[in-house]
Structures are given as structure tokens and as C-alpha cells.
Amino acid sequence: MKVLILCTGNSCRSQMAHGFLQSIDKDLSVFSAGTKPAEKVNPKAVEVMKEARVDISGHNPHNVTEYLDEPWDYVITVCGGANENCPVFTGDVKHRLHIGFDDPSDANGSDEFVASEFRRVRDEIIVRFKKFYNDELKSQNNRI
């Protein structure tokens, strides 16, 4: 099963979802990308995922163009706000889903507040991607 998770910068939400989904099933082929990839994964995303025992420190942002010619079982967008530029993927895709989250890198305020926003979004990603895995991916694998 091949899954591509898309966002704009591929530095926070898509990386957290990628790391979490891969951590719950090593047999999945999980990738993430963005339309305007950042230079590196956001250090706060790495930090809060480490707290959840998921290591994304070796991840790097990728451009969605790297994956356009590949077939996918699922392509999932994770951009949250309606004003945000979520990528549109028109390649060979069996299932397209949108599971949106706020962008924690938009948080402003004290270090504690910013960290709490990253944790909140991380926890939402874990809950929603665990549900996606249980409802969609496990049932797909059982049909094979």
C-alpha cells in the first residue's frame, strides 16, 4: 500500500502524519511532499514527534513533482485553512482524501504556547490518522 501525504511546505503536518503512519505499520510505503517545500523539517515538529516516540529527524521536505508519475493507493492533503494553498494531485491515484489540520507553524506567542500548538496538532494527527489506518488501510489489506 502506497500513501502520499501532501501539504504546502512539507515541514510540519505532512511530516508528522508521514512519521506517525509509518510508525504504526512498517509495511506501508509512506511518502510526503509539498508544493513549496521548506528547506528543512520544522524543529518543533521533530521535537513534539520525539515526545510521542516517533523519530522524524531524518526526514527532508520533498517537492510534489518528484511523485507525479507514480501510482498511489492514497493521496491525502492535510492543509487546514480554507485560504491555504493545498496542492492538487492529478496523478494515478485510487483514493484522494482531505484530512485537514491547523498549521502549528503559524502559532505566535510564548515558547510554551507555540509548543502547545504543535502538540495539539500532533495529537489531532495521531487520532485522525489512527482512525484512517483502522477504517481504511486495515480493511483494504484484509481484502487483498
Residues labelled catalytic: 7, 79, 86
Q: What gap in Å lies between CA 68 and CA 72, rounded to an integer?
A: 10
Q: What gap in Å lies between CA 115 and CA 43, rounded to an integer?
A: 11
How far apart, in Å, are the Cα atoms of 62 and each of 33, 34, 67, 76? 5, 6, 9, 15
Query: 107: number of CA atoms within 13 Å, CB side?
Result: 22
Closest CA to 43 of 33, 52, 56, 32: 56
Q: Assign residue 109 a region: left if phi > 0, alpha if psi is -120 to 50, beta otherwise?
A: left
